[in-house]
Amino acid sequence: FLPFTEGYPSPTSIEEQKRTSIAVSLDEPDAVWALAVGKVGGGDGLVGIYKSSDTGKSWERKCCGDSDGGVPSVTNKNIMEWDCDGENPGGQYYYDLALGVNPNNREEILTGGINLWLSRDGGASMKCHSDFIYRRNPETYVHADIHDIHYVNGNLWVASDGGIYMSNDNLESFQKKMHGLHGTDFRGFDVGFFNDQIMVGGTYHNGTMLQENNIYEN
């Protein structure tokens, strides 16, 4: 891999590979998969998906395009970006990044960034499987900013900024698994100086919330 910078560097840093997520599958125990991201070759987002079949001694690039990084295009997808066409630079790979390989099928690979991307041919092709815009495909919707992907007892679990989602039908649909659990990350909060029944809070990624007496507004 290219030089790796630990932690969460700024997306405006100099050109370099920044983060890597790895995964293995019981279906091929000597194989290691790696999802590398950063700013490489004039591109910003995906550097590549790589596979080692010999426990890390050697590596082969599996996706996406003909070279590491590079400018996104139809033939050089950036699966870290916001849109599902993968033809634009950027993304939030310095914040959210996940990789999973099906323990029962070495050919099924899932990557998480803003959207969930799926390959069922060992990385030869990648499809945007879950769009973070709900109305585009409600059945397979998963909230944006994906941090973890796990296969458990034949089911797929995805953890994101918006909660936990599970698929038990071969990724045909996802169910929310955080009912009854409510949490909001506030970046700032205060009450009115003259009226302590007025409260305002600014949340992380989810707007501003206001309470005035018994009236709540988001």
- pLDDT the model gives residue 5: 40
What is the pTM for the complete model shown?
0.81
Task: Please tell me what DSSP assigns to residue 135.
Answer: G
Report the phi/psi class of residue 84: left, alpha or beta, with left for phi > 0 and alpha for psi in -120 to 50.
Answer: alpha
With a cut of 70, list the residues of the chain below it in pLDDT: 1-14, 217-218
- pLDDT the model gives residue 11: 47
- pLDDT the model gives residue 64: 92
Element at 51 (helix H, strand E): strand 45-52
Counting residues of the chain whose pLDDT is more than 70, the rounded percentage is 93
Residue entry with tokens 């939030």: 92
- pLDDT the model gives residue 59: 95
Contact 108, 86 (CB under 8 A): no
- pLDDT the model gives residue 203: 87
For 126, other C-beta atoms within 10 Å of its C-beta total 22
Residue entry with tokens 């000597």: 30
Kindly calculate the radius of gyration of the chain based on its CA atoms and give it in whole angstroms.
20
* Half-sphere exposure for 61 (CA within 13 Å, toward CB): 14
Contact 47, 36 (CB under 8 A): yes
